[in-house]
Amino acid sequence: MPQPIFAGLSAFPLTPADEAGRVDVEGLQRLLARLVEADVQSIGLLGSTGTYMYLSREERLRAVTAAVECVQGRVPVIVGVGTLRTDEAEALAQDAAAAGADALLLAPVSYTPLTEEEAFRHFEAVATATDLPLCIYNNPSTTHFAFSDGLLQRLASVANIKAVKMPLPKNMEFAAELSRLKPNLPDGFAIGYSGDWGCSDALLAGADCWYSVVAGLFAKPAAALTKAAMQGDAAEAARLDAPFMPLWDLFKTYGSLRVVYAAAEHLKLLHAKPPRPLLPLSSDIMPALEAAIAALEG
């Protein structure tokens, strides 16, 4: 019986590219091969860590094609298709489906703030543009749009919308949030979380998925932490989470994207920099990052 796509550990890798935004296919496939080897449950391609909003339609397709070629069906590939215009998001979804993606991830990207009705129609159109299952990307810190419980319930009735990727709740009250959401959503509708430093607690509370930035580089320790948390072993999860703490602190201070670019460079996996106008971490932060990586690998 096939495993659910939106469950377990979903690893979100960087999408290395040059200064002109052309995807480094070789570098991307090198990152993806590590994820396949670590036996993650899915790969979140072109998420926020994958800098989807900094890439053209052509380069996004190049990334999806390279990923499908590398993974060869061994791990489901979930592709981010967020963009400003609905017609362009539909086209991105169709590109991903044609290239062999297994599922879609959609954020409500906007310049003019969206109403709930506008968000609903946008998601409805993109979800029905292909037959692929779609995960709602609820990321208000970036998109400045937060999904109400009522909107999630309404969207869950749309064909192909099967999951939501949630931000960390206030005061890390996962059990209360899951208890509030689940009774009003269809059976099998998956609720997962991003915000790496809280996801062990989310899984222990009954969340379905950890959408993980750190797993894009450190998939094996993240997979071990996921397994312990999903088995309800709080003591083992706490033990496995402890070495991540210095990295979580850097994520919170400098932003996870900048940190993982610097970490990939330190590990000699890539020679890419964040897309402009983002700047790399300054050299004076590198000793702390190196120590955080050493703690995780030790």
Residues with catalytic annotation?
Answer: 137, 165
DSSP letter assigned to residue 188: T
275 phi, psi to nearest 5 deg? -65, 135
Residue pair 127/161 in contact (Cβ under 8 Å)? The answer is yes
The owner of tokens 């998420």 is: 47
Q: For residue 75, what are its two tokens?
A: 């791990």
**Residue 112 counted as an annotated binding residue:** no
Distance from chain centroid for Cα 133: 15
Q: What is the spatial distance between Cα 124 and Cα 220, in angstroms, rounded to a whole number?
A: 36
Q: What is the spatial distance between Cα 233 and Cα 239, in angstroms, rounded to a whole number?
A: 10
Q: What is the spatial distance between Cα 262 and Cα 85, in angstroms, rounded to a whole number?
A: 32
Q: For residue 296, what are its two tokens?
A: 């995780």
